[in-house]
Amino acid sequence: MTDEGWAALEARVQAWIDDDPDPQTADELRGLLTTARTGPEGLLPGHDPDPTQRQAIDARAAARAELADRFQGLLQFGTAGLRGRLAGGPHRMNRAVVVRAAAGIADFLLGELDGVTPPPRVVVGYDARHNSAQFALDTAGVLTAVGIEVLLLPEPLPTPVLAFCVRHLDADAGIMVTASHNPPQDNGYKVYLGGRVVTDAGQGAQIVPPTDTAIAAEIARVPSVASVPRADHGWTVLGQDVVDAYVRTVVGLADLSPEARAAAGDLRIVLTPLHGVGGRVAQRVLAEAGFTDVLLVPEQEFPDPDFPSVAFPNPEEPGAIDLAIGLAGDERADLVLALDPDADRCAVAVQDLRSRSYRGPDTAAAEGWRMLHGDETGALLGDLAARRAAAASRDHAVLASSIVSSRLLAEIARHAGLQHRQTLTGFKWISRVDGLVFGYEEALGYCVDPAHVRDKDGISAALTVAGLAATLKAQGRSPVDALDDLARAHGLHLTGQVSARFADLADIGATVQRLRATPPRTLAGVPVTSVVDLAAGTEDDRDGLPPTDGLRMFTSDGTRVIVRPSGTEPKVKCYLEVVEPVAADADDDAVTHARRSARARLDALAADVRTVLGL
């Protein structure tokens, strides 16, 4: 960094410190700034530094690099809103950033509803992460001070409850303070629009371009935190009746036959909220729907912002639901349901005897327990939604999934005489599809009730999965049998993922760009027949997707690979899919053989993709 560059950065840091409403982050920045200003003592020109001087030089360089990173610009809206590490500075999550964001959102809403009465109504929710409650209060204070009606959820609650309230309370916007499944040192900010601001199929969904850009522009115009008026009272704290309304609505999805209802009482479920806020609400929903034999993982039952029992609080990550699966094995459960910390995602684990592994000591894996891939759960829920829509003769019923999800849902929709739509990654796109009756993305997100929650909802998904499991149990069958039926009807679609986490975000773009410049000619020994640069959009497809960073490749045997940067984590993700033909009258052994063949192809593909990307 040049002397001029450091002087400019130093001035920005000092100005931010002077404007910071939080003494803790101000002190943290002050300490970094002091280190960044301090050079080695007694070092003469032309002399090599001694160890103490070298340590001071290194500390100063590290402090300046850290400040440069924190002050590279304001946090921007990504796939799931604002999200970042808790720390001082404009490129982190802190009270100063939240006050500015709330002020920008307020200005946007007042501009959109200029001259309209009554004033804008906004629902604000928060989870149990570090600082979530404070960020929610700061938001309420900023909005209230400029005349916006603020309805604050009564306690830390799941994101789907907030999304529900946007439509249930006819709010013009909703703000949820959460970082979902991110590490404990992160927090975030999701923004929904509805009421009089968005009146089409996207009413109640998260913001998309160009709205995010318009709000970002308003945030950038906020001159300082000190200039933003903040009230210390005047908002309404909602009562438990809004939670009751959400629970009633979700329980109403449990459309069970008498036989399935009887089986529901005998269905033993292990449930984990992964130290998040979904446990109590999900347990209540299941109980009121007739699922009374529910065991919560005791180590993960209650909210804890440090997530002490998991390395990473994302049910997709290896080991995250091991305690739940272990408890299922001990208690001879039928089903495992795992919510992520804000309960908008749901992982499902079942006993599949074909997946038994006897490596090592006796474990749940040795008993055949495995987590369903998000595409498997999506296919089961999509098939159920398709059958219900067809039975109800729903006009313009649409199933939707993201571009990186399995192609199986499109086959299910076609077979049922329904439409299928493919969207960009992120539920802000899926949930606004016109005519939506079910939508999902492979990252464990499912929307089974778009009429009430225009977002992924792990709790309603968990109940729907439990209902399907009860129906199958009443027939002497399991979710694995239902997956076999889908393979017989549409071919065996097997999906997987290769991902790499990067410390330096610049390496993410370089990795994708390298593949864009020199795509492979073969994958797993099969010729690559198509390479589509998604950055140019996909107007040639029926769905005509807008540009997004990534590539899509097909091979001559129908294998598909999509490579893209993650929108929520510092990762490059590669989404793999192979399709193995299965005869309509195939017996269980034939389906098992097809599954093993597909697994071998997928493993070979994954190994080749790792090599191609240098992972």
Task: Provide φ and ψ at 588, rounded to 5°.
Answer: -60, -40
Cα-based distances in Å from 269 to 259, 285, 313, 338, 458: 18, 13, 21, 10, 15
Catalytic residue numbers read 180
DSSP character at residue 501: E
CA distance 87 to 71: 11
CA distance 178 to 189: 6
Task: Provide φ and ψ at 110, rounded to 5°.
Answer: -65, -35
**CB of 275 closer than 8 Å to CB of 308:** yes
Residue 312 burial (CB count, 10 A): 18
Tell me the residue type at 172: D
State the maximum Cα–Cα separation within the chain, in Å, rounded to a whole number. Answer: 88
The 3-class SS string of 120-184 reads CEEEEEECCCCCHHHHHHHHHHHHHHCCCEEEECCCCCCHHHHHHHHHHCCCCEEEEECCCCCCC
CA distance 237 to 137: 11
CA distance 439 to 165: 20
**CB of 334 closer than 8 Å to CB of 456:** no
Specify the 3-state DSSP secondary structure of 606.
helix
Question: Helices 588-613 and 479-490: crossing angle, nearest 10°?
Answer: 80
Of 344, 28, 341, the residue nearest 183 (C-alpha): 341
Specify the 3-state DSSP secondary structure of 272.
strand
Task: Provide φ and ψ at 314, rounded to 5°.
Answer: -125, 120
CA 559 to chain centre: 26
* Region label for 32, one of left (φ > 0), alpha (ψ between -120 and 50) or beta (otherwise): alpha
Of 12, 235, 193, 229, the residue nearest 99 (C-alpha): 229
CA distance 298 to 311: 17
β pairing state of 121-126 and 149-152 = parallel
What contacts 182, CB < 8 A, 6 or more positions away? 83, 188, 313, 314, 568, 569
